[in-house]
Structure 1
Amino acid sequence: MLPMERATVALMLLVGLPLAAQAPKGWQKGKGWGWIWGPNDEVGALNAIAGPEHVLRALGEIKTGRVYDLGVRIDHRSFKWPGHAPLVMMTFRSPDGVRRQQDPPAFTASKRQVAFHSCALFTSDNLGTQIDSLGHIVTGEDNHWYNGFKEADFGGDFGLRKTDADTIPPIIARAVMVDVAGLKGVEALPANYPISPKDIEAALARQKTDIEPGDVVLIRTGTCRFWGETGADHAKLAQHDSAGITLETARWLVEQKAAVMIGSDTTGLEVGRDPAVPDAAIPVHVYLLVEQGVHIGELHNLEELARDKVWRFTYIAVTNRFKGATAGFALRPLAIR
């Protein structure tokens, strides 16, 4: 950034002018983002909010210091999308085993009776609160994903070699929560409810807020109301989990509102069956991840935000650094108001 640009940003922050009221770099109204960041890019639309000026803009949303934990608690019983493996957690080492088997020797030789616990995990990288990497979904006969990366070139036995979850940068962004369940006056939206742009606009009007360019958008269906301790009530959760946004809504959020990430409180964000594209599988995932480079957030618990009527906040998420993973999983994103 040039000195004059830095001075302009500082002045805007000082007097409270909306830094991102103008179109973000690279975004075009009616087109969105797309593959605009160079042939080797693995970050996508989040490039638009990189830099200290955007972090300061995001932190400007904090007024009270109240922190909301958006992560869900998980265990081996937790509800998940059927295409993903469950969590299997086993005690690998226990105090009783360490002492009985006298292994490791350093512990059994100790006169202070010291031992330890250690667990082994087998799990999907798409479990619990998560952010999909841009390589999560492939399309076409060549199995390509964002930015034209192909399975033949960058697939492998040990995970993705391009746009894996490790490439998702730390996210510190302004965010808006859109309470569609609250708009409809229901605990949770019914199965396969298609959330339209009109629903989003009506919810925003009810909340007296709006989506600004460069925002993270989180949409509440009410599904997480039934998560409970660890999401064990699969039947109840399944009744509502298929509610979500349509392809039209995804396009509107990206091409008209310049959202850099879109998430919800369900396992898949999008409606189970989009009436406008009945022959397409997961069209919203294909559009956002592959075509636009917009990350998807899933299973974000928005219940406390809805209870306290918190519509705008600072969103912070840092994904775990598993090289090759298709999503940052078992996360605890924060909303700070």
Structure 2
Amino acid sequence: MDVETQAGLDGLSRRGLFGAAAAGGIGATGLGLLTAERAGAQAAGVPVKQWREGRGWGWVWGRDDEVGALNELGPELAAKALRLARGRVYDLGLAYDRSSFKFAGHARGEITTFRSPDGQFAEGDRPEITTGNSSRTSYASCLNSISDNVATQIDGLAHIYQGRDNHAYNSFKAADIVGDRGVLKCGVETIPPIVAPATLVDVAGFVGKDPLPAGYAIGPDLIRRTLAAQNVEIDVLDVVLIRTGTAASWLRGGGVGRNHTLLKRSDSAGISVSAARYLVEQRGALMVGSDTSGLEVTPPKEQLPGIGTSFNPVHVYLLVQQGVHILEFNNLERLARDRVYKFAYVLTPNKIVGNVAATVQRPIALA
């Protein structure tokens, strides 16, 4: 699939959009305003730069862009989010250790004590320990060997590749950007600090199956009915978090997801391709996430048109085609218990250069 076909949702490709702007004498600022006006966005005083209803985003931020939809972040959106905060803080991160459940395609984490108090004195290889240290001061440090795709995480735009040319977001090809020491484009260090309004869609609570059964597909109609029952709407540029109840299973596994058999069941519940398109193209979701390891239903119940079959078509759609980051394994249990459906979502991803996801994160919700 060529660049024009991949990026040109509804016939509006990156090249076509910027080419039309140049031909008409429209600068970058004017182009953003024009697109926002066409979007008819309902972001309540927040400028919308490039989202367009019926298209979403796509590859519209320029040939060298590595940020995607998060280019929409700004002071107005942060201020809107913080107006939702009234003093309650919710920890959305899940604790992780070497026994924790994970997607089988990722490495298990190991934590090793690299320096111990007794070991330093026994080895005697550090001058600060052996010389002028009559108080016997010592320290401990650990070595972490861990996948960048475990526990509470944000998927970066270099995570998924598609097509015979192995391209990621914005036509970046794996042969050009995936090195032996991480990725050279779209690494997690490019993800800005995130402060944005968010909406919880408690599907498990609405359908009365908590957690949702294995392979349970969440489509657009179910999302709409859940929102109606919650008496809330998704605003343009909201972070959208889908609750399946899987985090509750994680917490029952010693607090760190050790109960793999139980987790495997509900972890395969998730959104369909149609739901992903609805959230991005119709509702303007800035990011989409859930309390599972992969957000989408597995095995997939439908595919993206025009690209053939995929084991994770929602990832292809969000990360590759739209430049929308994915949030996984968020602990949504306390939010659901307190029926908090609108809140500020705050996440500052780590800046490990070259990682394709930010792993074992600790986002918070302010409500």
Bin for the TM-score computed over the shorter chain? over 0.9
**What's 2:59 paired with?**
35
CA distance in 2, matches of 1:106, 1:240: 51
Task: Tell me the equivalent position of 1:168.
Answer: 191
Question: Which structure 2 residues correspond to residues 191-206 of structure 1 after superposition, within 5 A?
Answer: 191-206=214-229
Identify which of 237, 251, 255 aligns with 2:281: 255
SS in 1 for 2:158: coil
Question: Is 2:366 the counterpart of 1:330?
Answer: no
Aligned residues: 319
Looking at structure 1, the residues matched to 256 and 301 of structure 2 have their Cα atoms a distance apart, in angstroms, of 32
Deviation at 1:111, TM superposition (A): 0.3
* SS of 1:68 mapped into structure 2: strand
> What corresponds to 1:143 in structure 2?
166
Q: How does 1:1-337 map to 2 (within 5 A)?
A: 18-20=44-46, 24-48=48-72, 50-62=73-85, 64-109=86-131, 110-228=133-251, 229-277=255-303, 279-337=309-367
Equivalent residue, structure 2, for 1:5: none
TM-score by length of 2: 0.85
Superposed CA RMSD: 1.5
The runs of at least 4 aligned residues of structure 1 exceeding 4 Å deviation read: none
Deviation per residue, 1:100-132 (Å, 9 max, x gap): 111212112210011111111111010110000
Gaps of 5+ in 1: 3-16
CA distance in 2, matches of 1:276, 1:18: 34
Q: Which amino acid aligns with 1:281?
A: F
| Alpha-carbon distance in 1 for matches of 2:264, 2:176 | 37
What secondary structure, in the 3-state scheme, does the structure 1 residue paired with 2:179 have? coil
Identity %: 50
CA distance in 2, matches of 1:276, 1:88: 37
Q: Please, which runs of 5 or more residues in structure 2 have no aligned partner?
A: 1-28, 30-42
Distance 1:279 1:149, change over 3 A: closer
Distance 1:233 1:35 in 2: 40
